[in-house]
């Protein structure tokens, strides 16, 4: 008899990638429609004066109650995403514990990292292969670089505060250090 608390989705591994990409495409379409709607409702001067453009566009259509309801819905969306994060994180920890890769030690991640380094060198079949993988990887790299360029000085989304640059520098240094360390342990 199956444990009632255990949830199982009989989704083949290959379909997980398809579902993931479909959800990303739907999110892109959703937010594109929001941008289009805001652009159709507010003119250039209203966009320039707006503090929260989506709420201001909703206020232009439905009045102040529309803006407030949008802000409340946005806040609820943030809170529910935390719920998904907690559930997903707990499932990941549960899976690691079942595979005997997690312990009560604060350095339990070390066991996961060493397992990853060991299996990385083995040849095993990945459950999903991306069609035109080299092309997709190259496009992902180029788009990531383009996204990074948006935050450089002189662009509309430039990082301006010292704290913002400090976060970027610390994460980049940490990534470079871990990359260097992983190359030394190979």
The string of pLDDT tens digits covering residues 22-45 is 999 999 999 999 999 999 999 999
pLDDT band at 156 (very low <50, low <70, confident <90, very high): confident
Nearest residue to 27 via CA among 16, 39, 35: 35
- The answer for residues whose C-beta is within 8 angstroms of residue 62's C-beta and 6 or more apart is 69
**Mean pLDDT, rounded, for 40-64:** 92
**Mean pLDDT, rounded, for 125-129:** 66
The pLDDT of residue 129 is 73
Token pair belonging to 34 = 């929001």
The pLDDT of residue 89 is 83
**Mean pLDDT, rounded, for 71-76:** 93
- The span from the CA of 11 to the CA of 14, in Å, is 8
Whole-structure pTM value: 0.52
pLDDT band at 102 (very low <50, low <70, confident <90, very high): low
Token pair belonging to 87 = 């559930």
Which of the residue ranges 52-61, 111-120, 158-167 would you say has the lowest mean pLDDT? 111-120
- The span from the CA of 70 to the CA of 91, in Å, is 31
**Mean pLDDT, rounded, for 101-115:** 59
């Amino acid at each position: 008899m199956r444990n009632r608390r255990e949830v199982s989705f009989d989704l083949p591994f290959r379909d997980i990638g398809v579902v993931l990409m479909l959800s990303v495409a739907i999110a892109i379409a959703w937010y594109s429609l929001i941008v289009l709607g805001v652009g159709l409702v507010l003119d250039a001067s209203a966009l320039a004066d707006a503090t929260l453009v989506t709420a201001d566009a909703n206020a232009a259509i439905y009045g102040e109650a529309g803006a407030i309801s949008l802000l409340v819905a946005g806040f609820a969306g943030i809170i529910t995403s935390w719920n998904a994060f907690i559930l997903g994180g707990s499932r990941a920890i549960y899976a690691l514990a079942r595979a005997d890769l997690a312990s009560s030690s604060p350095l339990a991640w070390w066991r996961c990292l060493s397992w990853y380094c060991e299996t990385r060198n083995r040849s095993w079949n990945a459950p999903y292969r991306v069609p035109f993988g080299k092309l997709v990887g190259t496009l992902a790299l180029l788009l990531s670089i383009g996204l990074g360029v948006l935050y450089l000085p002189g662009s509309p989304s430039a990082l301006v505060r010292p704290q913002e640059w400090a976060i970027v520098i610390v994460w980049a240094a940490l990534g470079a250090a871990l990359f260097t360390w992983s190359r030394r342990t190979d």
